[in-house]
Amino acid sequence: MAITHCVAKAILLDDGGDFLLLKRSETHPRLAGFHDLPGGTVESDEEWRFAVVREIKEETGIELDKGQLKALYTTTHLINGKSYPTVLYLGRVSGLKPSVTLSWEHQSYEWAALARLPEVEPQVAPTYREALDYVRANNIIEDIETK
């Protein structure tokens, strides 16, 4: 039987349409130095949206309400005998390039143009690389923006 690790990540957009791109610290126990999105592991007794809101606050200092998040993509990967159900959300923050308070997990951040997604995709964890590709290739964010 596979061990399950649920993951909830978010593309956070500022008022200018840039997204928050994090870079994991060199001492991070998993995928050190990789690009990252805010979010992380869902605890066993936690609802997914609450988990991503909690993780965003822990990693960036940004406070959101779960109602500010829309699910964009769900997937499950089996990697080295472990199952990784993953949900990618879209969230919005007020202002242009708001400041971020990083946790120990990340060494830097930037508010990047959505046009950078193809460059970033190969440099993120495989559990949500597919989600980013799907969202980008199918203009999911733009579709949500127009409704």
pLDDT tens per residue, the chain (147 residues)?
567 788 899 999 999 989 999 998 888 777 777 889 999 999 988 999 999 999 999 999 999 988 889 999 898 888 888 888 889 999 999 999 999 999 999 999 999 998 888 888 878 877 777 888 888 888 887 766 544
Cα 96 to Cα 12: distance, rounded to the nearest angstrom: 12
Q: Which residues pair with 88 in a beta bridge?
A: 9, 73
Displacement of CA 74 from its chain's centroid (Å): 12
Tell me what pLDDT residue 144 has: 63
Tell me what pLDDT residue 48 has: 92
Q: Which of 146, 57, 43, 46 is nearest to 105 (CA)?
A: 57
Options 3.40.228.10, 3.90.79.10, 3.90.950.20, 3.40.50.970; CATH for 3-145 is: 3.90.79.10
Tell me what pLDDT residue 2 has: 60
Its pTM stands at: 0.86
Name the one residue in this structure whose structure tokens are 């202002």: 95
